[in-house]
Amino acid sequence: MKDYRPRIRELVQIGRLPTGPNNAITDVEGVLVGHSTLIKGEGALSPGEGPIRTGVTAILPHGGNLFEEKVTAAVHVINGFGKSVGLSQIQELGTIETPILLTNTLNVGRVSDALISYMLKSNPGIGITTGTINPVVGECNDGYLNDIQGRHVGEKEVFAAIENAKGGMVEEGVVGAGTGMRCFQFKGGVGTASRLIRYQDEEYTIGILVVSNFGRREELQIAGVPVGLELKDWPEKMEEKADDGSIMIILATDAPLSSRQLGRLARRAPLGLARTGSIVSHGSGDFVIAFSTTHRHPHQGKHHRISWERVLEDNKLMNLFFQGTIEAVEEAVLNSLTRAYTVVGRDGHTAYALPIERVKEILRCYGR
């Protein structure tokens, strides 16, 4: 078993708003998360064979048939150096009709194909008696640790991630799509967090899940403390290579928001990234996919009109949504760091875990 790795809240509080019971995207009722993780082999890279350090993560807005009951959604492209699938239709129509899958860059095609196969199982009329399907797949590059040319995530892993998806606590760090990722030149991966929005007699939840794979060591900040600078020379033989990297951010909420309103929240996510030290580099692929679980869009409605309640864009309430988004993104990224353990990948490439005891000392020195 791996040594215990804490969540960031065990070191320092991030933000001011309360969290949900699991401090996870699954605090939004109905949202499910599943992973398939592939770790195999060691030593020199043999393209197509290994070593393998990769996986896939599935986020389901609800456990029903997403093609028949779509959810309201929006997309924000922070920096477009990425190879995602399905985002343009979300921008155009404002809905999501499949699980959201996250994986590595060169595996997007295989994962997208497997997702289509999965959806055809429960919707055999797709492409025959009704329209086609818009698979949603996001990616980050895990090629530093993983045999990325091998494209080892296929139908078996995709089906398992979706079928094993569940609510409650979400596994973080070296798991699923986060298996081979790095963040601020430490080991990164999957992280999640949530915030409760209480306003008058209503309560809403915002949940965030990230796959973090970006940043240089000296940029890292935790609760405003320049932790990365303090750890710049740790360990002594730190691997100097650092690509621009990427991040996928998934935002879920149970608030009745329109696609346009979800877009407003998604555009605040970069502020949470900035709090961790991200500069959204030239070569980074940084995407936000946001959805609301409140309303279901029937694939084939009986009427040509539909009406729903939605949140009034009151100044105070929308500001709370913005604050919750920013805080949850910041905390999810930091959880992806603190929960990840050291991983040795192909050709001996090593992604070191964030040194928790050193971080505690640094935070104390800065009065945090």
Classify residue 7: in a domain, yes or no. Answer: no
pLDDT of residue 305: 78
**Which range marks the domain in which residue 337 is found?**
16-300+309-361
8 found inside a domain: no
Q: Is the alpha carbon torsion for 231, 236, 238, 240 positive or negative? A: positive
Specify the pLDDT at position 301. 72
Residue 315 has pLDDT above 90, yes or no: no
Least confident stretch, 257-271, 302-316, 354-368: 302-316
Residue 348 lies in a domain: yes
- Residue of 194, 281, 284, 292 marked active site: 284
Query: Per the domain annotation, does 2 fall within a domain?
Result: no
Identify the sign of the CA torsion 177, 178, 181, 184.
Answer: positive
**Residue 9 forms part of a structural domain:** no
Is 212 among the catalytic positions?
Answer: no
Pick the catalytic residue: 84, 246, 281, 292? 246
Q: Distance between CA atoms of 54 and 7, rounded to whole angstroms? A: 22
343 assigned to some structural domain: yes
Q: What end-to-end distance do the CA atoms of the chain give, in Å?
A: 31
**What is the pLDDT averaged over residues 22-28?**
98
Residue 302 confidence class, pLDDT cut points 50, 70, 90: confident
Residue 52 within a domain: yes
Active site residue 286: yes
State yes or no: is 284 an active-site residue.
yes
Question: φ and ψ at 234, to 5 degrees?
Answer: -110, 135
Q: What is the CATH number of the domain that holds 69?
A: 3.60.70.12
In the chain, how many domains are there? 1
Active-site position among 27, 244, 254, 286: 286
pTM of model > 0.95: yes
User: Tens of pLDDT along 177-212?
Assistant: 999 999 999 999 999 999 999 999 999 999 999 999
195 within some domain: yes
